[in-house]
Amino acid sequence: MNGPTPMQRMTYREACRQAIRDALGAEPRTFVMGEDVGKYGGCYAVTKGLLEEFGPQRIIDTPLAENGFTGIGVGAALAGLRPIVEIMTCNFSLLALDQIMNNAATLSHMSGGQFAVPLVIRMATGGGRQLAAQHSHSLEGWYAHIPGLTVLAPATVEDARHMLAAALADPNPVLLFEHIVLYNAEGDLDPGVTAVDISHAKVRRAGRDVSLVTYGNSLPKCLAAAEALAGDGIEAEVIDLRVLRPLDMATVIASVARTHRVVIVDEGWKSGSLSAEIAARLAEDALYELDAPVRRVCSREVPMPYAAHLEEAALPSVNDIVLAARALVQPR
């Protein structure tokens, strides 16, 4: 008798590459476009080898002109193709904000549904690799503010492997934020899982005392914090948002209804952040489920430093999360 199919061990980077390779193989209208995606193999080596496999008509190196090649991606999507546009870092996506916000996000609405923009934009996000202020910020919360976009933040190998297919099947623009620190992370991929949805958050660890709500590279930090809290007898539930727009508040509220305390961990700046939006929605729709104030752990409100010790101090840490959760469960 054949036993169960063994789990596949791979890096987050390889999961992203396999997702792109599958998309290119399955749909001849799909192509990849961006800076250094071809001969160089991608700034983070995600597209390494794909130029040799699929050729220069499917893997297209572009000039350093985010507004230009993102606009080409919008036009290609309108014309019936399935472009995957890679922007090297989310900081650089601001150069293409007009194309993303005023074109991709609005054309379906402004045409009364006559035009769809099935565009996928992948971009690296976050700090932790000493790339300084112009390459290290987390701007996904800004894009989660914009109607007409779906905003995804895969934090696991499984999501990195399967979210792209769901994004390409969406008739509207989808932004995928891949955290730079996660590219080297390894995880087990269940061969039995062949798809994930891009609509719902996921409970990554069950608990009863406090909810840790997060996404992206803050997920492994929250899981480590939950393990540390367990040593104190505190059972933390960890919620991976995964989808930043539209937010799955039902899953968050259900968790808070179980634990009655919540810490929101967001690598963005606290002011005007995604964490602020979640806190406001909890106040509006789940206030009486809370037995303590909402706490937030965010990046320090400074441009991201280059020096390693300063960058580490600027980012949310496992200890920050542990202290915030412990203060709610065991107030002094």
Q: Tell me which residues are annotated as active site.
A: 66, 135
Q: How far apart are CA 161 and CA 189, in angstroms?
A: 9
Q: How far apart are CA 332 and CA 328, in angstroms?
A: 9
Residue with tokens 């920050």: 320
Helix or strand holding residue 323 (H, E): helix 318-329
Burial (Cβ within 10 Å: 0-12, 13-18, ≥19) of residue 309: exposed
Cβ contact 119:33 at 8 Å: no
Answer positive or negative: Cα dihedral of 88, 90, 92, 93. Answer: positive
Closest residue by Cα to residue 263 from 228, 237, 234: 237
Helix runs in 149-248, H state only: 157-169, 218-230
Residue with tokens 């001969």: 39
Residues ≥6 apart with Cβ < 8 Å to 276? 270, 296
Cβ contact 93:122 at 8 Å: no
DSSP character at residue 31: E
Q: How far is CA 302 from CA 197, 236, 324, 331, in A?
A: 35, 29, 21, 29
Number of Cβ atoms within 10 Å of the Cβ of 153: 31
